[in-house]
Amino acid sequence: MSSITREEVAYLARLARLALTDDELDALSAQLDVIVGAVARVAEVAAEDIPPTSHALPLTNVARPDEVRPSLPVEAVLAAAPAAEESRFRVPRILDEE
């Protein structure tokens, strides 16, 4: 089992949009190594021909009638947002200004 490096944790944190401090990167790479070592035991179960289970219930594609129903009032939803403007969620700049 290859050990999990600090750089690898930093890469995972970027994928997960998670700002981590240097101390957190150090702690997490050490802990993740131990945890992954423990959970890797799943490999001991012979399961080549076993189908995966994503879900304990035999449910697929539950649909409802395609009817318009009342939704939450826009003001009530936006009231919970950190920033809103003109009936929309307001966010910092996404694209560079050209």
Helix, coil or strand: residue 88: strand
HSE-up of residue 11 (Cα within 13 Å, Cβ side): 5
Measure the CA–CA gap between 9 and 30, rounded to whole angstroms. Answer: 10
Task: Tell me how far, at minimum, the Cβ of 62 lies from other proteins, in Å.
Answer: 4
Task: Tell me how far, at minimum, the Cβ of 5 lies from other proteins, in Å.
Answer: 12
Site for other proteins in 42-61 (CB under 8 A): 42-45, 47, 50-57, 59
Site for other proteins in 60-79 (CB under 8 A): 62, 64, 72-73, 76-77, 79
Helices first, then strands: H and E counts in the chain: 3, 2
From the list 22, 67, 68, 82, which residue makes contact with other proteins (rule: CB under 8 A)? Answer: 82
Measure the CA–CA gap between 57 and 55, rounded to whole angstroms. Answer: 6
Q: Over the Cα atoms of the chain, what is R_g?
A: 23
Task: Tell me how far, at minimum, the Cβ of 87 lies from other proteins, in Å.
Answer: 14
Can you give the binding site for other proteins, defined by CB under 8 A? 4, 8-9, 12-13, 15-21, 24, 28, 31-32, 34-36, 38-45, 47, 50-57, 59, 62, 64, 72-73, 76-77, 79-83, 89, 91-94
